A and B are shown apart, each in its own frame.
Chain A
Amino acid sequence: MIATVRDDPSVVELVERARDGDQGAWGRIVERYAPLVWAVCRRFGLSRADAEDVGASVWVRLVEKLETIKEPAALPGWLRTTTLNECRYLLRTKKRQVPVDDPEYFEDGTGPPSDEWLLAQERQVALRTAFAVLSQPCRRLLSMLFADPPTPYARISKELDMAVGSIGPTRGRCLEELRSHPELAALQEPPSARMDR
């Protein structure tokens, strides 16, 4: 497979660049993790306006934190905790005296986001990062396949000018490229974990 020329800096590099004042690197950090912050707010059932307030607090704290952050790999966990704290604070000041850890505050009734949830979020970040640097034909094919509902093979065949029989194998090659992205590869479950699932 032809290697794609990619500008695909790691989180460590992005944090270093942002620390040196690179606004673009900061933007990349935000794009990676905004869905995580948003998802925590949604779990709390916050309105959009409240989620925006919480987000504002979380991001200015991260800007401050950039100077001293030692282990960028800990960033997702830090964002989860900081967002949780800000959500709780907001709910406490809005609805005084109400115990905020009450499950009814969580939209899905499952309680605060667990470590398992965080791992799933990190995997989503890695998936999006890996997807973004795939070749354009791969991104196009996979987008049609993961659409909800999935695009019928007949239509994919027509639009991408590809035989129906080669859609599966092409997908396989694209996914192989996706799995080989260092960030995703680092999160791959060991075979034993796959067996146990």
Chain B
Amino acid sequence: MGPYSEAEDDELTAELGTAMRAAAEVPAGFVAAAKAAFAWRNVDAELAALSYDSATEPALAGTRAERATLRALTFVASRLTIELEATESGLVGQVVPQQPGEVELQQPGGGKRTVTIDELGWFAFRAPAPHGMCRLRVRTADGTSVLTEWMTL
């Protein structure tokens, strides 16, 4: 006999059953969607990290409802910074230092929208206001390509 008692073998068998049933319980669609998420892998752009999010700052004043209508976020990459403001009417942003280009809004649900960035670095995604999980891919006129981290609006 091995070093383990029958009781220990019984216990391990039961534990194995629990582990296998827990996996069997996960819907196939849940796993399939998770596998499909790999398509969102970033292969070439520099990642702009979230450096400020008003939603995670402690509330100094105002109610939750007020904070929900306006959210400010900042993403930083080596050559540029992206400042964002989300309101109920849309997502407005500025690229600093100011420069023209274009910006694509990506959402895991599949949606992609592109708008131009003006000479002052401004851009806006109007109605429908972006909602849920998204990220921005910024391409400036000088060829800089930056991808923000995912954010949830």
Contact = CB atoms under 8 A, between A and B. Distances in A.
Interface residues of B, number: 43
A64 B152 contact: no
Interface stretch (B36-44, B92-100, B113-121): B36-44
A96 B19 contact: no
A18 B38 contact: yes
A88 to B, nearest CB: 11
20 contacts: A21-B43, A35-B25, A37-B34, A38-B26, A39-B22, A52-B29, A55-B34, A56-B37, A56-B109, A56-B133, A61-B150, A63-B38, A127-B16, A127-B19, A146-B20, A168-B6, A173-B2, A175-B9, A178-B12, A178-B16
A35 to B, nearest CB: 5
B13 A146 contact: yes
A21 B19 contact: no
Contacts of A168: 6, 9
A60 B14 contact: no
Contact of A128 (B19, B25, B40, B68): B19
Interface of A: 18, 21, 23, 26-27, 30-31, 34-35, 37-39, 48, 51-53, 55-57, 59-64, 66-67, 86, 89, 96-97, 123-125, 127-128, 131, 142-143, 145-148, 168-169, 171-173, 175-176, 178-179
